[in-house]
Structure 1
Amino acid sequence: MIITNNDWVYQKFKDSCNVLFIKGSYRDVLVKVRDKIQEGHELLTHPLSSSLKPNETPYKSIIISENKGTLNFDSVYIIENSIMSYDKFNKNKLINLTDKIIEDFKLIDLTVLESALDI
């Protein structure tokens, strides 16, 4: 399952994968992933992957297991620490993003996701 706030990712994978589109922020994606992990899903990609810090991009796509299992404490630890890192870095919020910069961030997120999927 892909959880994303990037409409480019949603449009590209909605017909071939289970994609949950979040109309919200990077943090909203992290919180939804945390909720899913608490239900028994497992992280398959790291929530802070790529060289961009959480305050440097508004878009994030994360892959989690399709099926629920027992609570995976490694996934819990990673997602909780990712939310704390987001909050720490988000003291310096993004401002004044042009349409071109927004498109660049969407492309970076999509490319990182595709590399995880080996496409």
Structure 2
Amino acid sequence: MLDVANLFIVTNNDKVLDKYPNYNIKYINSESMYEVFITARDLIHKGYKLLTHPMSSSLKANQTPYKSILMLKKNDGLIFEDLELIENAIENYNKFIKNRKLTDWPENIKNDFKTVDLSLIESCFSKTLPLN
């Protein structure tokens, strides 16, 4: 069983921030998935482990500005597989944004994207982990 004290969420989604106030959250005040990826990469260099894939969901980087990544504080050194995953996510983000800029979505659509991202994180928690 995972120790909740070592769980860490990197997100730019305020719905995730509001839903999990008792968890360790690095909130990025930006509508850029790129900033979430960079923060997760920096944590991986500090020994954190990815618990969710950085490119989860079928939404492309140029389709949604919101991303949440669940991580585990390990301090066992750099996990090269996780570093490769996050570097690939950054590369894919740059590829998609190069070819097509993010759409300036209306607020109701942004809210929908936040809800999708929140539901992805909610689905990661097992029944044995407290949600609050």
Identify the TM-score tier after normalising by the shorter chain.
over 0.9
Q: 2:25 aligns with which of 1, 15, 19?
A: 19
In 2, Cα distance between the equivalents of 1:65 and 1:101? 31
How far apart, CA to CA, are the structure 2 residues paired with 1:107 and 1:83?
23
Give RMSD over aligned pairs.
1.1
1:51 aligns with 2:58: yes
C-alpha distance in 1 between matches for 2:45 and 2:125: 24
Q: Tell me, which stretches of 5 or more residues in structure 1 are unaligned?
A: none
Alignment-derived partner of residue 35 in structure 1: 42
Per-residue deviation, 1:96 = 2.8
- TM-score by length of structure 2 reads 0.85
**Helix, strand or coil for the counterpart of 1:117?**
coil
Q: Is 1:60–2:60 an aligned residue pair?
A: no
Select the structure of larger CA radius of gyration. Answer: 2
Counterpart of 1:23 in structure 2: which amino acid? Answer: N
Q: 1: CA distance between counterparts of 2:88 and 2:104?
A: 28
The TM-score, its normalising length taken from structure 1, stands at 0.94
Structure with the largest fraction of strand: 2
State the match for 1:106 in structure 2: 114
**Structure 2: stretches of 5+ with no match in the other structure:** 1-7, 128-132
Q: List 4+ stretches of structure 1 deviating above 3 A.
A: none
The share of aligned pairs that are identical, in percent, is 44
For the Cα contact (< 8 Å) 2:63–2:103, is it kept in 1? no
CA contact 2:9–2:25 (8 Å) conserved in 1: yes
SS class of match (1:29): helix
Residue 34 of structure 1: CA displacement? Answer: 0.2
